[in-house]
Amino acid sequence: MAIAVEPNPLRAGLRLARLPDPAAMVIFGGTGDLASRKLLPALYDLARQRLLPQAFCVVGVGRADMTDAGYRQHLHDAVAEHSRSRPIDEDVWSSFAERLFYVSVKEDQGYDDLKRRLADLDGELGTDGDRLFYLATPPAAYASIVRSLGRHELAHNGTSWSRIVVEKPFGRDLESARSLSQALHEVFAEDEIFRIDHYLGKETVQNILVLRYANSIFEPVWNRRYVDHVQITVAESLGVEERTEYYDRAGAMRDVVQNHLLQLFALVAMEPPAAFDANAVRDEKVKALRAIRKTTTADVGDRAVRGQYAAGFIEGEPVTGYHDLAEVPPESHTETFVALKLFVDNWRWEGTPFYLRHGKRLPKRSTEIAIRFRSVPHQLFSEEQREGLEPNTLVLRIQPEEGISLKFGAKVPVQGVRIRSVAMDFVYGASFLVDAPDAYETLLLDALRGDATLFTRQDEVEEQWRLVDPILEAWRAAPDAPPSYAAGSWGPTEADAFIERDGRRWRQP
């Protein structure tokens, strides 16, 4: 029997708080970095808030030989370090830890042990045969794990449900994404596949939908008639140090732009869905992605800029350049910065460009969406009077200082007319005196409830690749190295020139 879900005032009215069913969650890559840093801390935090079903267990799967006790000890330290409520509550931990188990699986060996173990746990804990599988291994292992699940009949057992959560990267181009979906479909139906993009679990990202569709004042101006352009920035001050091997093969486009950044784009650009359910919301996101004008190899130069960070300073501290990292091959052209200009060829957005930007080693960590409105049609005030006036801008601050601000012109309180831009500010933390849940808490709970609204559907992921593939291909074929930028700057000068050609400038978040 599941215990009651505590109503969370932040999410009240957003989605139906349905109790998660009893279930066993099986994490492949159970001893890996993602499990230790994100998944288990999120599950512990859900347990602390009594949001997990009472009949619930986690079975970690890995290649190492380890006992349940050893696994629990390993995770205790990881959770103590990464939970959002530190120090952890040892009483909560003890009862949570009793539901953690470990099974060793090597290649195709061990799946029968896993099956037996799960059947035993169903009997002991009442998990009912319901399974949430989670692929948190390196992506190269995904297809073979799924085939083994099928071969050993682990995925479907009679009346129970089975779902699978798949971590990014989902493929490295359209073709590989399709063949991964095909491998998954051999065992799971599309509505049992939960492709995770943790940006969708962030409260402020979900709030984009609330802002647009729970309020009447924004939607009438959310279009080409009123919006001059949109800027979406995902800036990070961190470099890639510990993940060089992965990153050098991926680059900024595959790592962040193809998924997180395009998700933000889709939520801003989409049409209102007919219902707040998984397929209606995702249908609209897919339509928005489809409406993006395709970039051909010939116009990559006008639509995209890449860059790679060189040595520089972050918050006054010297940092090394990408190329100086020991594991980076000297000939690496991997981009650590991307800027894109997207045109959305539909009724709402024709002629309003979306500028997207992401980079490592930029001056600060900041994710924001800025909707820049057009100037008034007729200027009543003289140029001198409106010297301090900037165009109206609505800024959705996704992180770290979550909130929304609207910039508008106000009269300076002096004799005569002088206009200056001021901001009307909503600060999440000040209005809601609760800590927002971590994205993984939200997404794991949704996967347990079977709500796929915040997960990426196959056609969505394919549209994302369709968009970035020609750009990646043009860059791969280009003989020149990406332009460099000093760590701690806002990217290569080419990125400034790129937007300034259109008579616009990047915002400084």
Question: Tokens at residue 509, please?
Answer: 């978040």
CB of 256 to ligand BG6, least distance (A): 6
Assess 256 for contact with ligand BG6 (CB under 6 A): yes
How far is residue 73 from each of residues 25, 31, 332, measured CA to CA in Å? 19, 11, 40
Residue type for position 166 = V
Question: Coil, strand, or helix at residue 352?
Answer: coil
Question: Coil, strand, or helix at residue 166?
Answer: strand
Give the residue nearest to ligand BG6 (CB).
Answer: 255
Taking the least distance from each CB to ligand BG6, the nearer of 255 and 462 is 255
CB of 454 to ligand BG6, least distance (A): 14
- Which residues, other chains included, contact 247 with Cβ-Cβ below 8 Å and sequence gap of 6+? 240, 255, 334
Assess 368 for contact with ligand BG6 (CB under 6 A): no
- DSSP symbols for 169-195: P--SSHHHHHHHHHHHHTTS-GGGEEE
Burial of 91 (0-12, 13-18, 19+ CB in 10 A): exposed
CB of 413 to ligand BG6, least distance (A): 40
Assess 236 for contact with ligand BG6 (CB under 6 A): yes
Question: Tokens at residue 140, please?
Answer: 């190269």
CB of 237 to ligand BG6, least distance (A): 10
Beta bridge partners of 356: 232, 340
Q: Which of 51, 70, 46, 48 is nearest to 60 (CA)?
A: 70
Please answer whether residues 164 and 136 qualify as being in contact, where contact means their C-beta atoms are separated by less than 8 angstroms.
no
* Rounded Cα gap, residues 370 and 507, in angstroms: 8
Taking the least distance from each CB to ligand BG6, the nearer of 102 and 428 is 428
Distance between alpha carbon 276 and the CA centroid of its chain, in Å? Answer: 20
- Give the DSSP H or E segment for 342: strand 337-342
Q: How many residues bind ligand BG6 (CB under 6 A)?
A: 3
Please answer whether residues 97 and 55 qualify as being in contact, where contact means their C-beta atoms are separated by less than 8 angstroms.
no
* Rounded Cα gap, residues 88 and 236, in angstroms: 29
271 DSSP assignment: P
Please answer whether residues 231 and 370 qualify as being in contact, where contact means their C-beta atoms are separated by less than 8 angstroms.
yes
Assess 438 for contact with ligand BG6 (CB under 6 A): no
Taking the least distance from each CB to ligand BG6, the nearer of 250 and 268 is 250
Taking the least distance from each CB to ligand BG6, the nearer of 205 and 211 is 205
Let me know if 260 is a catalytic residue.
yes
CB of 93 to ligand BG6, least distance (A): 25
Question: Tokens at residue 381, please?
Answer: 């005030």
* Rounded Cα gap, residues 396 and 262, in angstroms: 16
Taking the least distance from each CB to ligand BG6, the nearer of 255 and 368 is 255
Taking the least distance from each CB to ligand BG6, the nearer of 160 and 237 is 237
* Rounded Cα gap, residues 304 and 295, in angstroms: 9
CB of 396 to ligand BG6, least distance (A): 14
Taking the least distance from each CB to ligand BG6, the nearer of 33 and 175 is 33
CB of 200 to ligand BG6, least distance (A): 11
Task: List the interface residues with ligand BG6, window 376-395 (CB under 6 A).
Answer: none
* Residue of 45, 167, 192, 255 that binds ligand BG6 (CB under 6 A): 255
Please answer whether residues 310 and 322 qualify as being in contact, where contact means their C-beta atoms are separated by less than 8 angstroms.
yes
CB of 364 to ligand BG6, least distance (A): 12
Distance between alpha carbon 489 and the CA centroid of its chain, in Å? Answer: 24
Question: Of 74, 82, 229, 260, which is the active-site residue?
Answer: 260
Buried b (16+ CB within 10 A) or exposed e, 121-153: bbeebebbbbbbbbbbbebeebbebbebbbeee
Taking the least distance from each CB to ligand BG6, the nearer of 74 and 168 is 168
CB of 255 to ligand BG6, least distance (A): 5
Distance between alpha carbon 97 and the CA centroid of its chain, in Å? Answer: 28
The contact set with ligand BG6 (CB under 6 A) reads 236, 255-256
- Active site residues per annotation: 260
